[in-house]
Structure 1
Protein backbone atom coordinates (compact mmCIF):
# COMPACT_ATOMS: atom_id res chain seq x y z
CA UNK A 1 0.00 0.00 0.00
CA UNK A 2 0.99 3.62 -0.47
CA UNK A 3 0.96 5.24 2.97
CA UNK A 4 1.66 8.83 4.04
CA UNK A 5 2.22 9.97 7.61
CA UNK A 6 1.07 13.54 8.22
CA UNK A 7 2.94 14.92 11.21
CA UNK A 8 5.57 12.22 11.56
CA UNK A 9 6.74 12.60 15.13
CA UNK A 10 7.32 9.68 17.47
CA UNK A 11 3.92 8.01 16.95
CA UNK A 12 3.85 8.48 13.18
CA UNK A 13 7.45 7.35 12.74
CA UNK A 14 6.79 4.17 14.70
CA UNK A 15 3.77 3.02 12.71
CA UNK A 16 5.12 4.35 9.41
CA UNK A 17 8.42 2.62 10.06
CA UNK A 18 6.75 -0.70 10.88
CA UNK A 19 4.77 -0.53 7.62
CA UNK A 20 7.91 0.35 5.65
CA UNK A 21 9.74 -2.63 7.18
CA UNK A 22 6.88 -4.81 5.90
CA UNK A 23 7.40 -3.56 2.34
CA UNK A 24 4.80 -0.79 2.02
CA UNK A 25 5.59 2.49 0.24
CA UNK A 26 5.71 5.00 3.11
CA UNK A 27 6.27 8.76 2.98
CA UNK A 28 6.79 10.72 6.19
CA UNK A 29 5.70 14.37 6.31
CA UNK A 30 7.95 15.62 9.08
CA UNK A 31 9.94 18.51 10.49
CA UNK A 32 13.00 19.58 8.46
CA UNK A 33 15.57 18.19 10.91
CA UNK A 34 13.97 14.74 10.71
CA UNK A 35 13.56 14.94 6.92
CA UNK A 36 17.25 15.69 6.51
CA UNK A 37 18.41 12.86 8.77
CA UNK A 38 15.98 10.28 7.38
CA UNK A 39 16.72 11.19 3.76
CA UNK A 40 20.43 10.78 4.45
CA UNK A 41 20.55 7.70 6.72
CA UNK A 42 17.03 6.25 6.93
CA UNK A 43 14.81 6.21 10.02
CA UNK A 44 16.61 4.72 13.00
CA UNK A 45 14.11 2.52 14.85
CA UNK A 46 15.46 1.63 18.28
CA UNK A 47 12.81 -0.72 19.64
CA UNK A 48 12.58 -3.43 22.26
CA UNK A 49 13.15 -6.14 19.67
CA UNK A 50 15.38 -4.55 17.00
CA UNK A 51 17.61 -1.54 16.33
CA UNK A 52 18.01 -0.76 12.65
CA UNK A 53 17.81 1.93 9.97
CA UNK A 54 14.66 1.71 7.85
CA UNK A 55 14.68 3.24 4.38
CA UNK A 56 11.62 5.31 3.46
CA UNK A 57 10.81 8.72 2.00
CA UNK A 58 10.61 11.88 4.10
CA UNK A 59 9.40 15.30 2.96
CA UNK A 60 8.60 18.60 4.72
CA UNK A 61 5.11 19.34 3.36
CA UNK A 62 1.68 17.82 2.76
CA UNK A 63 2.33 17.22 -0.94
CA UNK A 64 4.03 14.03 0.21
CA UNK A 65 0.56 12.56 0.75
CA UNK A 66 -0.33 12.80 -2.95
CA UNK A 67 -1.75 9.53 -4.22
CA UNK A 68 -1.73 7.79 -0.85
CA UNK A 69 -4.13 4.92 -0.16
CA UNK A 70 -4.01 5.73 3.56
CA UNK A 71 -2.86 8.78 5.51
CA UNK A 72 -1.87 8.32 9.15
CA UNK A 73 -2.86 11.67 10.62
CA UNK A 74 -0.56 12.29 13.59
CA UNK A 75 -0.38 16.06 14.12
CA UNK A 76 -0.95 17.68 17.51
CA UNK A 77 -4.61 18.24 18.40
CA UNK A 78 -4.33 22.03 18.15
CA UNK A 79 -3.13 21.68 14.54
CA UNK A 80 -5.92 19.37 13.34
CA UNK A 81 -7.92 21.75 11.16
CA UNK A 82 -4.95 23.54 9.60
CA UNK A 83 -3.16 20.28 8.78
CA UNK A 84 -6.38 18.94 7.28
CA UNK A 85 -6.65 21.97 5.00
CA UNK A 86 -3.04 21.49 3.87
CA UNK A 87 -3.74 17.84 3.15
CA UNK A 88 -7.03 18.24 1.28
CA UNK A 89 -5.71 19.15 -2.22
CA UNK A 90 -3.48 16.07 -2.32
CA UNK A 91 -5.98 13.36 -1.34
CA UNK A 92 -7.62 10.89 -3.71
CA UNK A 93 -11.42 10.53 -3.32
CA UNK A 94 -10.96 7.05 -1.83
CA UNK A 95 -8.06 7.84 0.51
CA UNK A 96 -8.58 6.73 4.11
CA UNK A 97 -7.45 9.32 6.66
CA UNK A 98 -6.81 7.61 9.99
CA UNK A 99 -6.51 9.86 13.07
CA UNK A 100 -3.76 8.65 15.40
CA UNK A 101 -4.09 11.53 17.85
CA UNK A 102 -4.62 12.22 21.53
CA UNK A 103 -8.04 13.42 22.62
CA UNK A 104 -11.55 12.32 21.72
CA UNK A 105 -12.82 14.81 19.12
CA UNK A 106 -10.08 15.06 16.47
CA UNK A 107 -11.79 12.84 13.89
CA UNK A 108 -15.01 14.86 14.19
CA UNK A 109 -13.09 18.12 13.80
CA UNK A 110 -11.16 16.76 10.81
CA UNK A 111 -14.39 15.68 9.09
CA UNK A 112 -15.52 19.32 9.02
CA UNK A 113 -12.38 20.10 6.96
CA UNK A 114 -12.47 16.92 4.83
CA UNK A 115 -16.21 16.35 4.34
CA UNK A 116 -15.74 14.40 1.10
CA UNK A 117 -13.19 11.90 2.43
CA UNK A 118 -13.29 8.86 4.67
CA UNK A 119 -11.98 9.88 8.10
CA UNK A 120 -11.70 7.25 10.83
CA UNK A 121 -10.61 7.60 14.44
CA UNK A 122 -8.00 5.31 15.95
CA UNK A 123 -6.86 4.56 19.49
CA UNK A 124 -3.08 4.37 19.87
CA UNK A 125 -1.33 2.36 22.56
CA UNK A 126 2.41 2.94 22.21
CA UNK A 127 5.25 4.50 24.18
CA UNK A 128 7.72 6.31 21.91
CA UNK A 129 9.91 9.39 21.66
CA UNK A 130 12.16 11.05 19.11
CA UNK A 131 15.59 10.68 20.70
CA UNK A 132 17.19 12.86 18.03
CA UNK A 133 16.81 13.81 14.36
CA UNK A 134 15.55 10.75 12.51
CA UNK A 135 15.96 8.60 15.65
CA UNK A 136 12.85 6.88 17.04
CA UNK A 137 13.04 5.22 20.45
CA UNK A 138 10.32 2.74 21.34
CA UNK A 139 9.55 2.10 25.03
CA UNK A 140 6.69 -0.36 24.80
CA UNK A 141 3.43 -1.61 23.31
CA UNK A 142 2.34 -0.70 19.78
CA UNK A 143 -1.33 -1.62 19.22
CA UNK A 144 -4.10 0.16 17.35
CA UNK A 145 -7.89 0.07 17.46
CA UNK A 146 -9.62 1.69 14.47
CA UNK A 147 -13.12 2.72 13.47
CA UNK A 148 -14.98 0.85 10.75
CA UNK A 149 -14.78 2.42 7.29
CA UNK A 150 -14.63 1.31 3.65
CA UNK A 151 -10.90 0.51 3.92
CA UNK A 152 -10.48 -0.16 7.65
CA UNK A 153 -10.54 -3.97 7.42
CA UNK A 154 -8.04 -4.02 4.54
CA UNK A 155 -5.66 -1.65 6.32
CA UNK A 156 -6.02 -3.46 9.65
CA UNK A 157 -4.84 -6.62 7.91
CA UNK A 158 -1.84 -4.76 6.47
CA UNK A 159 -0.99 -3.49 9.95
CA UNK A 160 -1.31 -6.92 11.53
CA UNK A 161 0.93 -8.35 8.81
CA UNK A 162 3.44 -5.61 9.69
CA UNK A 163 3.46 -6.83 13.32
CA UNK A 164 1.25 -3.99 14.53
CA UNK A 165 -1.61 -5.66 16.47
CA UNK A 166 -4.76 -3.97 15.15
CA UNK A 167 -8.48 -4.50 15.55
CA UNK A 168 -11.52 -2.80 14.02
CA UNK A 169 -14.06 -1.86 16.70
CA UNK A 170 -17.57 -0.41 16.80
CA UNK A 171 -16.79 1.32 20.11
CA UNK A 172 -13.73 3.37 19.27
CA UNK A 173 -15.40 6.32 21.02
CA UNK A 174 -15.46 4.37 24.27
CA UNK A 175 -11.85 3.31 23.78
CA UNK A 176 -10.79 6.89 23.01
CA UNK A 177 -12.35 7.97 26.29
CA UNK A 178 -10.46 5.29 28.20
CA UNK A 179 -7.25 6.52 26.52
CA UNK A 180 -8.21 10.10 27.45
CA UNK A 181 -8.62 9.00 31.07
CA UNK A 182 -5.16 7.39 30.99
CA UNK A 183 -3.67 10.57 29.55
CA UNK A 184 -5.40 12.73 32.14
CA UNK A 185 -4.05 10.53 34.93
CA UNK A 186 -0.46 10.34 33.70
CA UNK A 187 0.45 13.12 31.28
CA UNK A 188 0.26 16.26 33.39
CA UNK A 189 1.95 14.65 36.41
CA UNK A 190 4.83 13.48 34.20
CA UNK A 191 5.06 16.94 32.63
CA UNK A 192 5.08 18.83 35.92
CA UNK A 193 7.61 16.49 37.56
CA UNK A 194 9.62 15.81 34.37
CA UNK A 195 9.82 12.19 35.47
CA UNK A 196 8.69 8.90 33.89
CA UNK A 197 5.52 7.10 34.90
CA UNK A 198 7.21 4.48 37.08
CA UNK A 199 8.91 7.10 39.27
CA UNK A 200 5.85 9.31 39.57
CA UNK A 201 3.52 6.62 40.91
CA UNK A 202 5.91 6.12 43.85
CA UNK A 203 5.55 9.76 44.89
CA UNK A 204 3.70 10.61 48.09
CA UNK A 205 0.02 11.16 47.35
CA UNK A 206 0.35 10.79 43.56
CA UNK A 207 -1.78 7.65 43.27
CA UNK A 208 -4.49 9.46 45.25
CA UNK A 209 -4.31 12.42 42.87
CA UNK A 210 -4.55 10.08 39.90
CA UNK A 211 -7.57 8.35 41.44
CA UNK A 212 -9.34 11.72 41.90
CA UNK A 213 -8.57 12.65 38.28
CA UNK A 214 -9.93 9.32 37.02
CA UNK A 215 -13.12 9.59 39.11
CA UNK A 216 -13.83 13.03 37.65
CA UNK A 217 -13.20 11.77 34.11
CA UNK A 218 -15.57 8.84 34.62
CA UNK A 219 -18.29 11.19 35.87
CA UNK A 220 -17.95 13.39 32.79
CA UNK A 221 -17.94 10.35 30.48
CA UNK A 222 -21.15 9.03 32.09
CA UNK A 223 -22.82 12.41 31.63
CA UNK A 224 -21.70 12.44 27.98
CA UNK A 225 -23.39 9.06 27.47
CA UNK A 226 -20.09 7.30 26.74
CA UNK A 227 -19.85 3.54 27.17
CA UNK A 228 -16.26 3.06 28.26
CA UNK A 229 -14.48 0.26 26.41
CA UNK A 230 -12.87 -1.76 29.18
CA UNK A 231 -11.71 -0.94 32.69
CA UNK A 232 -9.76 2.34 33.02
CA UNK A 233 -8.41 1.35 36.43
CA UNK A 234 -6.94 -1.88 35.06
CA UNK A 235 -5.50 0.04 32.10
CA UNK A 236 -3.83 2.51 34.45
CA UNK A 237 -2.23 -0.32 36.42
CA UNK A 238 -1.03 -1.88 33.16
CA UNK A 239 0.77 1.36 32.17
CA UNK A 240 2.74 1.27 35.42
CA UNK A 241 3.87 -2.26 34.60
CA UNK A 242 4.47 -2.04 30.85
CA UNK A 243 5.93 1.47 30.40
CA UNK A 244 7.57 2.54 33.69
CA UNK A 245 10.35 4.42 31.87
CA UNK A 246 8.06 6.41 29.57
CA UNK A 247 7.74 10.20 29.78
CA UNK A 248 4.37 11.50 28.63
CA UNK A 249 4.05 13.38 25.34
CA UNK A 250 3.10 16.43 27.43
CA UNK A 251 6.35 16.11 29.39
CA UNK A 252 8.32 15.81 26.15
CA UNK A 253 6.62 18.92 24.73
CA UNK A 254 7.36 21.03 27.82
CA UNK A 255 10.96 19.82 27.95
CA UNK A 256 11.42 21.07 24.37
CA UNK A 257 9.69 24.37 25.03
CA UNK A 258 6.75 23.46 22.79
CA UNK A 259 3.00 23.98 23.42
CA UNK A 260 1.35 20.86 24.78
CA UNK A 261 -2.03 19.24 24.12
CA UNK A 262 -3.19 19.77 27.71
CA UNK A 263 -6.28 21.73 26.55
CA UNK A 264 -7.46 18.55 24.79
CA UNK A 265 -6.72 16.30 27.79
CA UNK A 266 -7.36 17.54 31.34
CA UNK A 267 -8.54 20.83 29.84
CA UNK A 268 -11.25 19.05 27.88
CA UNK A 269 -12.51 17.37 31.07
CA UNK A 270 -12.64 20.77 32.78
CA UNK A 271 -14.52 22.31 29.84
CA UNK A 272 -17.04 19.47 29.52
CA UNK A 273 -17.44 19.33 33.30
CA UNK A 274 -18.36 23.01 33.38
CA UNK A 275 -20.92 22.51 30.59
CA UNK A 276 -22.46 19.52 32.38
CA UNK A 277 -22.35 20.92 35.93
CA UNK A 278 -19.78 18.36 37.14
CA UNK A 279 -16.94 19.58 39.42
CA UNK A 280 -13.46 18.65 38.16
CA UNK A 281 -11.04 20.23 40.69
CA UNK A 282 -8.21 17.68 40.31
CA UNK A 283 -8.19 17.99 36.53
CA UNK A 284 -8.40 21.78 36.82
CA UNK A 285 -5.31 21.98 39.03
CA UNK A 286 -3.22 19.79 36.70
CA UNK A 287 -4.43 21.66 33.61
CA UNK A 288 -3.70 25.07 35.18
CA UNK A 289 -0.22 24.05 36.35
CA UNK A 290 0.78 22.76 32.93
CA UNK A 291 -0.54 25.95 31.31
CA UNK A 292 1.54 27.94 33.81
CA UNK A 293 4.70 26.00 32.94
CA UNK A 294 4.00 26.54 29.23
CA UNK A 295 4.22 30.31 29.75
CA UNK A 296 7.43 30.16 31.79
CA UNK A 297 10.19 32.22 30.12
CA UNK A 298 12.69 30.04 28.32
CA UNK A 299 16.34 30.32 29.41
Structure 2
Protein backbone atom coordinates (compact mmCIF):
# COMPACT_ATOMS: atom_id res chain seq x y z
CA UNK A 1 0.00 0.00 0.00
CA UNK A 2 1.14 3.57 -0.69
CA UNK A 3 1.17 5.42 2.64
CA UNK A 4 1.93 9.04 3.48
CA UNK A 5 2.69 10.21 7.00
CA UNK A 6 1.84 13.88 7.45
CA UNK A 7 3.92 14.98 10.42
CA UNK A 8 7.03 12.81 10.72
CA UNK A 9 7.68 13.31 14.41
CA UNK A 10 8.08 10.54 16.95
CA UNK A 11 4.60 9.04 16.45
CA UNK A 12 4.58 9.41 12.68
CA UNK A 13 8.08 7.99 12.28
CA UNK A 14 7.28 5.00 14.50
CA UNK A 15 4.14 3.93 12.64
CA UNK A 16 5.52 4.90 9.25
CA UNK A 17 8.70 2.99 9.99
CA UNK A 18 6.85 -0.13 11.12
CA UNK A 19 4.72 -0.08 7.96
CA UNK A 20 7.76 0.49 5.73
CA UNK A 21 9.56 -2.36 7.49
CA UNK A 22 6.60 -4.59 6.58
CA UNK A 23 7.08 -3.76 2.89
CA UNK A 24 4.69 -0.86 2.30
CA UNK A 25 5.66 2.16 0.21
CA UNK A 26 5.86 4.94 2.79
CA UNK A 27 6.75 8.61 2.53
CA UNK A 28 7.42 10.64 5.67
CA UNK A 29 6.54 14.35 5.48
CA UNK A 30 8.38 16.38 8.05
CA UNK A 31 10.97 18.97 8.93
CA UNK A 32 14.11 19.45 6.82
CA UNK A 33 16.62 18.08 9.34
CA UNK A 34 14.70 14.80 9.67
CA UNK A 35 13.98 14.56 5.95
CA UNK A 36 17.65 15.06 5.12
CA UNK A 37 18.74 12.37 7.60
CA UNK A 38 16.13 9.86 6.42
CA UNK A 39 16.90 10.51 2.76
CA UNK A 40 20.62 10.06 3.38
CA UNK A 41 20.68 7.18 5.88
CA UNK A 42 17.16 5.75 6.12
CA UNK A 43 14.98 5.91 9.23
CA UNK A 44 16.69 4.52 12.33
CA UNK A 45 13.93 2.61 14.12
CA UNK A 46 15.18 1.85 17.62
CA UNK A 47 12.96 -0.47 19.67
CA UNK A 48 13.37 -2.99 22.50
CA UNK A 49 13.13 -5.83 19.97
CA UNK A 50 15.31 -4.51 17.15
CA UNK A 51 17.34 -1.59 15.86
CA UNK A 52 17.20 -1.18 12.08
CA UNK A 53 17.70 1.44 9.43
CA UNK A 54 14.57 1.37 7.29
CA UNK A 55 14.76 2.63 3.70
CA UNK A 56 11.89 5.07 3.34
CA UNK A 57 11.08 8.12 1.24
CA UNK A 58 10.89 11.53 2.90
CA UNK A 59 9.74 14.99 1.88
CA UNK A 60 9.19 18.44 3.35
CA UNK A 61 6.16 19.07 1.11
CA UNK A 62 2.54 18.05 1.68
CA UNK A 63 2.38 17.41 -2.04
CA UNK A 64 3.91 14.02 -1.18
CA UNK A 65 0.46 12.81 -0.08
CA UNK A 66 -0.49 12.67 -3.77
CA UNK A 67 -1.51 9.14 -4.84
CA UNK A 68 -1.31 7.82 -1.28
CA UNK A 69 -3.95 5.21 -0.48
CA UNK A 70 -3.61 5.82 3.27
CA UNK A 71 -2.66 9.11 4.95
CA UNK A 72 -1.73 9.14 8.62
CA UNK A 73 -2.05 12.66 10.02
CA UNK A 74 0.37 12.85 12.95
CA UNK A 75 0.97 16.59 13.28
CA UNK A 76 0.63 18.39 16.58
CA UNK A 77 -2.93 19.45 17.38
CA UNK A 78 -1.79 23.07 17.06
CA UNK A 79 -0.90 22.36 13.40
CA UNK A 80 -4.07 20.53 12.35
CA UNK A 81 -5.61 23.41 10.38
CA UNK A 82 -2.36 24.16 8.55
CA UNK A 83 -1.86 20.48 7.72
CA UNK A 84 -5.39 20.21 6.33
CA UNK A 85 -4.88 23.27 4.12
CA UNK A 86 -1.57 21.90 2.83
CA UNK A 87 -2.94 18.42 2.10
CA UNK A 88 -6.30 19.41 0.63
CA UNK A 89 -5.19 20.01 -2.96
CA UNK A 90 -3.19 16.79 -3.19
CA UNK A 91 -5.30 14.07 -1.53
CA UNK A 92 -6.61 11.32 -3.78
CA UNK A 93 -10.42 11.01 -3.64
CA UNK A 94 -10.13 7.36 -2.57
CA UNK A 95 -7.45 7.93 0.10
CA UNK A 96 -8.18 6.76 3.64
CA UNK A 97 -7.29 9.50 6.13
CA UNK A 98 -6.62 8.68 9.78
CA UNK A 99 -5.86 11.12 12.59
CA UNK A 100 -3.17 9.75 14.94
CA UNK A 101 -3.12 12.80 17.21
CA UNK A 102 -3.56 13.80 20.82
CA UNK A 103 -6.76 15.52 21.88
CA UNK A 104 -10.34 14.49 21.20
CA UNK A 105 -11.44 16.64 18.27
CA UNK A 106 -8.71 16.48 15.62
CA UNK A 107 -10.47 14.00 13.34
CA UNK A 108 -13.60 16.15 13.52
CA UNK A 109 -11.57 19.29 12.72
CA UNK A 110 -9.78 17.62 9.81
CA UNK A 111 -13.07 16.28 8.45
CA UNK A 112 -14.62 19.74 8.46
CA UNK A 113 -11.58 21.35 6.85
CA UNK A 114 -11.05 18.66 4.21
CA UNK A 115 -14.72 18.06 3.45
CA UNK A 116 -14.26 14.29 3.56
CA UNK A 117 -14.43 11.45 6.06
CA UNK A 118 -11.53 11.24 8.49
CA UNK A 119 -11.12 8.38 10.94
CA UNK A 120 -9.92 8.86 14.49
CA UNK A 121 -7.25 6.55 15.86
CA UNK A 122 -6.43 6.44 19.56
CA UNK A 123 -2.67 6.05 19.91
CA UNK A 124 -0.98 4.27 22.81
CA UNK A 125 2.76 4.48 22.21
CA UNK A 126 5.80 5.88 24.02
CA UNK A 127 8.29 7.30 21.53
CA UNK A 128 10.68 10.19 21.08
CA UNK A 129 12.95 11.55 18.40
CA UNK A 130 16.44 10.76 19.69
CA UNK A 131 18.05 12.69 16.84
CA UNK A 132 17.50 13.55 13.17
CA UNK A 133 15.96 10.51 11.50
CA UNK A 134 16.20 8.46 14.73
CA UNK A 135 13.01 7.40 16.50
CA UNK A 136 13.33 5.72 19.89
CA UNK A 137 10.47 3.43 20.92
CA UNK A 138 10.02 3.02 24.68
CA UNK A 139 6.89 0.89 24.79
CA UNK A 140 3.43 -0.11 23.61
CA UNK A 141 2.21 0.83 20.13
CA UNK A 142 -1.41 -0.26 19.80
CA UNK A 143 -4.15 1.71 18.05
CA UNK A 144 -7.93 1.88 18.51
CA UNK A 145 -10.08 2.78 15.50
CA UNK A 146 -13.79 3.00 14.71
CA UNK A 147 -15.63 0.49 12.52
CA UNK A 148 -15.62 1.44 8.84
CA UNK A 149 -15.51 -0.09 5.40
CA UNK A 150 -11.71 -0.03 5.70
CA UNK A 151 -11.31 -1.16 9.32
CA UNK A 152 -10.82 -4.89 8.61
CA UNK A 153 -8.19 -4.06 6.01
CA UNK A 154 -6.42 -1.68 8.40
CA UNK A 155 -6.43 -4.22 11.23
CA UNK A 156 -4.84 -6.81 8.94
CA UNK A 157 -2.28 -4.39 7.48
CA UNK A 158 -1.14 -2.89 10.79
CA UNK A 159 -1.20 -6.27 12.49
CA UNK A 160 1.13 -7.73 9.86
CA UNK A 161 3.47 -4.81 10.58
CA UNK A 162 3.55 -5.60 14.30
CA UNK A 163 1.04 -2.92 15.31
CA UNK A 164 -2.05 -4.26 17.16
CA UNK A 165 -5.29 -2.51 16.23
CA UNK A 166 -8.61 -2.80 18.06
CA UNK A 167 -11.91 -1.76 16.48
CA UNK A 168 -14.27 -0.04 18.93
CA UNK A 169 -17.80 1.31 18.71
CA UNK A 170 -16.81 3.87 21.34
CA UNK A 171 -13.75 5.57 19.85
CA UNK A 172 -14.95 8.89 21.28
CA UNK A 173 -14.84 7.37 24.76
CA UNK A 174 -11.41 5.88 24.04
CA UNK A 175 -10.18 9.31 22.90
CA UNK A 176 -11.40 10.75 26.18
CA UNK A 177 -9.67 7.97 28.12
CA UNK A 178 -6.42 8.93 26.36
CA UNK A 179 -7.11 12.64 27.03
CA UNK A 180 -7.47 11.83 30.71
CA UNK A 181 -4.10 10.04 30.75
CA UNK A 182 -2.54 13.04 29.06
CA UNK A 183 -4.14 15.48 31.48
CA UNK A 184 -2.82 13.46 34.42
CA UNK A 185 0.77 13.20 33.19
CA UNK A 186 1.73 15.64 30.45
CA UNK A 187 1.75 18.94 32.31
CA UNK A 188 3.26 17.54 35.51
CA UNK A 189 6.06 15.80 33.61
CA UNK A 190 6.67 19.04 31.68
CA UNK A 191 6.69 21.28 34.76
CA UNK A 192 9.03 19.01 36.73
CA UNK A 193 10.98 17.60 33.75
CA UNK A 194 10.66 14.20 35.38
CA UNK A 195 9.78 10.80 33.87
CA UNK A 196 6.59 9.11 34.94
CA UNK A 197 8.13 6.71 37.48
CA UNK A 198 9.87 9.45 39.47
CA UNK A 199 6.94 11.82 39.03
CA UNK A 200 4.34 9.62 40.73
CA UNK A 201 6.65 9.03 43.69
CA UNK A 202 6.53 12.74 44.59
CA UNK A 203 4.75 13.92 47.71
CA UNK A 204 1.07 14.78 47.03
CA UNK A 205 1.50 14.19 43.28
CA UNK A 206 -0.88 11.24 43.29
CA UNK A 207 -3.57 13.43 44.88
CA UNK A 208 -3.06 16.10 42.21
CA UNK A 209 -3.36 13.48 39.49
CA UNK A 210 -6.49 11.99 41.05
CA UNK A 211 -8.12 15.42 41.15
CA UNK A 212 -7.19 16.14 37.52
CA UNK A 213 -8.63 12.78 36.46
CA UNK A 214 -11.87 13.32 38.38
CA UNK A 215 -12.36 16.75 36.81
CA UNK A 216 -12.00 15.17 33.36
CA UNK A 217 -14.49 12.44 34.25
CA UNK A 218 -16.97 15.02 35.54
CA UNK A 219 -16.61 16.91 32.26
CA UNK A 220 -17.03 13.73 30.19
CA UNK A 221 -20.25 12.99 32.08
CA UNK A 222 -21.49 16.52 31.36
CA UNK A 223 -20.63 16.01 27.66
CA UNK A 224 -22.57 12.72 27.60
CA UNK A 225 -19.39 10.72 26.95
CA UNK A 226 -19.01 7.19 28.29
CA UNK A 227 -15.35 6.69 29.18
CA UNK A 228 -14.47 2.98 29.10
CA UNK A 229 -12.54 1.14 31.77
CA UNK A 230 -11.10 2.26 35.09
CA UNK A 231 -9.32 5.53 34.34
CA UNK A 232 -7.40 5.74 37.60
CA UNK A 233 -6.13 2.17 37.20
CA UNK A 234 -5.02 3.05 33.65
CA UNK A 235 -3.20 6.13 34.96
CA UNK A 236 -1.33 4.06 37.54
CA UNK A 237 -0.34 1.44 34.97
CA UNK A 238 1.28 4.08 32.75
CA UNK A 239 3.91 4.83 35.40
CA UNK A 240 4.39 1.12 36.08
CA UNK A 241 4.87 0.13 32.45
CA UNK A 242 6.72 3.25 31.21
CA UNK A 243 8.62 4.58 34.26
CA UNK A 244 11.39 6.21 32.19
CA UNK A 245 9.05 7.98 29.74
CA UNK A 246 8.82 11.79 29.64
CA UNK A 247 5.57 13.26 28.33
CA UNK A 248 5.47 14.78 24.86
CA UNK A 249 4.79 18.12 26.55
CA UNK A 250 7.96 17.73 28.62
CA UNK A 251 9.92 16.93 25.46
CA UNK A 252 8.47 19.98 23.69
CA UNK A 253 9.35 22.37 26.52
CA UNK A 254 12.84 20.91 26.83
CA UNK A 255 13.41 21.70 23.16
CA UNK A 256 11.87 25.15 23.38
CA UNK A 257 8.90 24.15 21.23
CA UNK A 258 5.24 25.01 21.57
CA UNK A 259 3.32 22.14 23.17
CA UNK A 260 -0.17 20.74 22.72
CA UNK A 261 -1.30 21.83 26.18
CA UNK A 262 -4.12 23.95 24.68
CA UNK A 263 -5.66 20.72 23.38
CA UNK A 264 -5.13 18.75 26.61
CA UNK A 265 -5.64 20.46 29.99
CA UNK A 266 -6.55 23.63 28.08
CA UNK A 267 -9.36 21.82 26.27
CA UNK A 268 -10.71 20.57 29.61
CA UNK A 269 -10.55 24.12 30.98
CA UNK A 270 -12.45 25.61 28.01
CA UNK A 271 -15.14 22.95 27.92
CA UNK A 272 -15.50 23.10 31.69
CA UNK A 273 -16.16 26.83 31.50
CA UNK A 274 -18.70 26.31 28.72
CA UNK A 275 -20.59 23.62 30.63
CA UNK A 276 -20.19 25.00 34.14
CA UNK A 277 -17.95 22.14 35.32
CA UNK A 278 -15.21 23.26 37.76
CA UNK A 279 -11.69 22.28 36.63
CA UNK A 280 -9.32 24.06 39.08
CA UNK A 281 -6.48 21.51 38.96
CA UNK A 282 -6.45 21.38 35.18
CA UNK A 283 -6.55 25.20 35.15
CA UNK A 284 -3.42 25.41 37.32
CA UNK A 285 -1.54 22.80 35.28
CA UNK A 286 -2.48 24.55 32.04
CA UNK A 287 -1.52 27.99 33.35
CA UNK A 288 1.92 26.91 34.55
CA UNK A 289 2.79 25.18 31.27
CA UNK A 290 1.70 28.28 29.34
CA UNK A 291 4.01 30.40 31.51
CA UNK A 292 6.89 28.02 30.78
CA UNK A 293 6.14 28.28 27.07
CA UNK A 294 6.20 32.07 27.30
CA UNK A 295 9.51 31.95 29.17
CA UNK A 296 10.99 29.73 26.45
CA UNK A 297 9.69 32.06 23.74
CA UNK A 298 11.21 35.07 25.54
CA UNK A 299 14.54 33.32 25.90
CA UNK A 300 14.56 32.42 22.21
CA UNK A 301 13.72 36.00 21.24
CA UNK A 302 16.49 37.39 23.45
CA UNK A 303 19.00 35.04 21.85
- State TM-score, norm by structure 1: 0.98
- Rounded to whole Å, the distance in 1 between the matches of 2:243 and 2:61 is 35
- Alpha-carbon separation, structure 1, partners of 2:117 and 2:242: 33
1:54 matched residue in structure 2: 54
Indicate the larger mover: 20-29 or 233-242: 233-242
Aligned-partner Cα distance in 2 for 1:40–1:82? 27
| C-alpha displacement of 1:150 | 2.6
Separation of aligned partners in 2, 1:27 and 1:52:
17
1:207 equivalent in structure 2: 206
Task: Indicate the SS of the match to 2:118.
Answer: strand
Q: How far apart are the structure 2 equivalents of 1:2 and 1:238?
A: 36
SS in structure 1 at match of 2:138 = strand
1:290 and 2:293 matched:
no
Is 1:225–2:228 an aligned residue pair? no
Q: Is the contact made by 1:94 and 1:118 (CA closer than 8 Å) also made in structure 2?
A: no
Partner of 1:84: 84
Q: Which moved more, 1:147-156 or 1:252-261?
A: 147-156
Counterpart for residue 127 of structure 1: 126
Structure 1 CA distance for aligned equivalents of residues 260 and 93 of structure 2: 30
Q: Residues of 1 paired with 2:66 and 2:228: CA distance?
A: 35
**Structure 1 unmatched runs, 5+:** none
Aligned to 2:257: 258
1:4 match: 4
The runs of 4+ residues in structure 1 deviating greater than 4 Å are none
5+ residue gaps, structure 2, are: none
CA deviation vs aligned residue, 1:237-288 (integer Å, no higher than 9, x gap): 1101111111100001111111111010001111111111111110000000
- State the alpha-carbon separation in 1 of the partners of residues 223 and 232 from structure 2: 19
Q: Does 1:246 align with 2:248?
A: no
1:277 is aligned to 2:276: yes
- The count of residues paired between Structure 1 and Structure 2 equals 298
> Is the contact between residue 95 and residue 118 of structure 1 (CA under 8 Å) also seen in structure 2?
no
2: CA distance, partners of 1:106 / 1:241: 29
SS in structure 2 at match of 1:295? helix
TM-align CA RMSD: 0.9
How far is 1:149 from its partner?
A: 2.6
How far, CA to CA, are the matches of 2:193 and 2:110 in structure 1?
A: 31
Q: Distance in 1 between matches of 2:200 and 2:72?
A: 32
Structure 2 distance, partners of 1:47, 1:56, is 17
Quote how far apart the aligned CAs of 1:63 are.
1.0
Question: Displacement of 1:157 after TM fit?
Answer: 1.1
Q: Distance in 1 between matches of 2:244 and 2:108?
A: 33
Give the Cα–Cα distance (whole angstroms) in 2 for the partners of residues 152 and 94 of structure 1.
15
2:96 matched to which residue of 1? 96
Distance in 1, Cα, partners of 2:220 & 2:194: 28
Post-superposition offset of 1:153: 2.0
2:89 is paired with a residue whose SS is helix
Task: Encode CA deviations 1:214-253: one digit per residue, 9 max, x unaligned.
Answer: 0100000000000112221121111011111111000011
**Mapped partners of 1:152, 1:99: distance in 2:** 14
| Partners of 1:167 and 1:182 in 2: CA distance | 19
